[in-house]
Amino acid sequence: MKAAKDKIRVVLVGGSGYAGYEALRWLARHPSAEVVGVFGPENELGPMDRFYPLLSGQCVLSQERFSEQAVAALKADLAMLCVPHKVAMSYVPTLRKLGLRVIDWSADYRLTDAAEYEKWYCPHTDPAGLAEAVYGLPEYFAKQIAKADLVANPGCYPTCAVLPLAPLIQAGLILPDEIVVNAISGVTGAGRAPSPKQHFPERNENFEPYGVGNHRHMPEMEQVLTTITGKETTLLFQPHLCPMDRGMLCTIFARPTSDDVTQLHLLNVLQAAYSNMPFVRVRNDVLPATKYVANTNYCDVAVRLAKGRVVLFSALDNLLKGASTQAIQNMNLMFNLPETTGLY
């Protein structure tokens, strides 16, 4: 094991949300990184085990008030930002000025076009950062991530949708403009703040669609797929909330580009695409299910051809491959560690 002083020194900004919490837990067991400070909003300061009693005795960190001086004093190598969009870009320039590399988990650096960002979110206040940011999907941008100072950690739905789609669009097997992504998420995806919709008696035994045609992850999916495949991709994304803690599953309907496309062909392309990727499992034994990937960094994908349509399934843990462990996978790449270090 490396000496503690050699470990990557990580600062978490926004430790009290579910994704920050998972980052803290996984980094606590990472052999080559350690969290040296946690910063958060005024109304959520204090020992981490007060927010998460599970951490008692395991984590002595407190969430502190963010300040340039406080961060500087920690001599950290990396900042992980687990804060909402708009808040994130208010911190990033400061963190980079202090010499930290940054992985941002918000949407602030995912859409490369500032005008598109403004359309879906708000005006962008760090266009310079936006121009330099690398999209942190390790399966497609590993080389750029390795050198990046600013990585935009992908959204959970885009990760889940892009992984099965990209190889098939790229291989010319499915039409890039005839895609429907139907998705479900566990309730941790809605965040830690209580709300009427996620109050236990309202959500339990209640499956519900939301965000028809206007979910912000839709343009992210389109942009990333277009970038990866070089083919202008447009799709319809329809999310739902499912009464369970965690897990995400996409059921994707696409059109084959010709009648000659077979299921075997589709499967082969997926298998070839991911044969060397440790965290994407192309399944032919079972259909993906959320329980098969829960508490792991895996994304499972499968493909079927049915009634003239390509049907893709993909599943991941929305808090892990959809957020926290994907960020750690990016960190591993950024610091020249084996991609799988501390992950499973």
Please report, as residue ranges, which positions from 301 to 330 form the binding site for a second copy (by CB under 8 A).
304-309, 311, 313
**Total interface residues for a second copy by CB under 8 A:** 78
Please choose, out of 66-74, 102-110, 124-132, 201-209, the segment that lies near a second copy by the rule CB under 8 A.
Answer: 201-209
Q: Which listed residue (59, 82, 156, 299) is catalytic?
A: 156
Distances in whole angstroms, Cα of residue 307 to Cα of each of 105, 262, 325: 39, 12, 37
Q: Is there binding between residue 140 and a second copy (CB under 8 A)? A: no
Alpha helix stretches (DSSP H) within 29-85:
48-51, 68-73
H helical segments located in 2-56: 18-28, 48-51
| Residue 90 in the binding site for a second copy (CB under 8 A) | no
Interface residues for a second copy in 235-294 (CB under 8 A)? 235-236, 238, 240, 242-247, 249, 251, 253, 278, 281, 283, 285-294
| Span 56-85, contacts to a second copy by CB under 8 A | 56-58
The DSSP letter of residue 153 is P
The interface with a second copy within residues 18-47 (CB under 8 A) comprises: 18, 28-29
Q: How does 29-58 read in b/e, with b if 16+ C-beta sit within 10 Å? A: ebebbebbbbbbeeeebeebbebbeebeee
Choose one: 121-129, 164-172, 208-216, 324-332; the region binding a second copy (CB under 8 A): 208-216
Query: Least distance from C-beta 201 to a second copy, angstroms?
Result: 5
Annotated catalytic residue 156: yes
Q: Is residue 207 close enough to count as binding a second copy by CB under 8 A?
A: yes
Dig out the tokens for 209 from the structure.
Answer: 């669609």
CB 180 within 8 A of CB 235: yes
Residue type, 75: K
Q: What's the sign of the alpha-carbon dihedral 139, 185, 211, 107?
A: negative
Residue 213 as a binder of a second copy (CB under 8 A): the answer is yes
Q: Does 7 bind a second copy (CB under 8 A)?
A: no
Helix (H, G, I), strand (E, B) or coil at 246: coil
Catalytically active residues are 156
